[in-house]
């Protein structure tokens, strides 16, 4: 629906610039702070989000006879149709006059266009070291997908139920190589077919996975 307005990581935007490949969009994405990068990791690995775009739109308003504009950090669209424009800021920056003006433009534009606007800080986005490591691994596994046979994918699915079961146990039951099994599991988690605890335990052979309630 949107295309990023800023794509060159060489331009002077943000404190820490990131360029990463999105399997969801099949293109590189450009992030302009560590916080934006951490937010993208969560967007990319959320199976309920079906589309997104960074630096998606230049919002313009006229206030006091002057044209003001701001480029929003992220637009997202969920499976249920909900859409949000999201501005990502460190909480310490919210009191800066320049940031207040930027957010004012966004909020007025969104109100005029009946769009939903969110402000997210490190309080909402912050990742624990374990979850940060797991999301990176998940994305890396999906990007470097092995040539897993559909037969093996179907076998793995049949061995995962509502009751949590470790990857090691599934390996014993299916006789599938651990490396291929972890790759299959990561792809199933990424696509929302199964779930696992990415918050408190490192993803590996001892990770427990279970079937999602709406999985058929």
User: Quick one: pLDDT at residue 12?
Assistant: 55
Structure tokens of 185?
A: 């599991």
Which has the minimum average pLDDT: 52-56, 61-65, 73-77, 194-198? 61-65
Between strands 74-78 and 83-88, the pairing is antiparallel
Question: What's the rounded Cα separation, in Å, for the pair 148 and 153?
Answer: 7
pLDDT tens figures, 144-188: 876 678 899 999 999 999 999 999 999 999 999 888 999 999 999
State the CB neighbour count (10 A cutoff) for residue 142: 19
pTM tops 0.85, yes or no = yes
């Amino acid at each position: 629906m949107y295309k990023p307005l800023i794509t060159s990581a060489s331009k002077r935007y943000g404190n820490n610039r990131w360029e990463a490949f999105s399997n969801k969009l099949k293109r590189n994405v450009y992030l302009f702070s560590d916080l934006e990068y951490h937010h993208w990791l969560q967007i990319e690995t959320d199976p309920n989000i079906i589309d997104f775009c960074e630096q998606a739109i230049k919002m313009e308003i006229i206030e006091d006879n002057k044209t003001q504009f701001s480029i929003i950090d992220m637009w997202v669209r969920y499976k249920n149709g909900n859409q949000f424009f999201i501005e990502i800021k460190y909480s310490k920056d919210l009191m800066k006059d320049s940031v207040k003006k930027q957010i004012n433009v966004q909020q007025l534009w969104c109100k005029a266009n009946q769009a939903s606007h969110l402000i997210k800080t490190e309080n909402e986005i912050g990742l624990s070291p374990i979850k940060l490591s797991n999301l990176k691994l998940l994305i890396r596994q999906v990007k470097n997908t092995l040539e897993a046979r559909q037969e093996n994918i179907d076998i793995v699915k049949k061995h995962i139920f509502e009751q949590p079961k470790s990857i090691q146990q599934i390996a014993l039951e299916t006789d599938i190589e651990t490396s291929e099994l972890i790759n299959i599991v990561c792809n199933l988690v990424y696509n929302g077919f199964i779930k696992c605890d990415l918050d408190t335990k490192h993803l590996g052979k001892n990770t427990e996975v279970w079937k999602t309630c709406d999985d058929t």
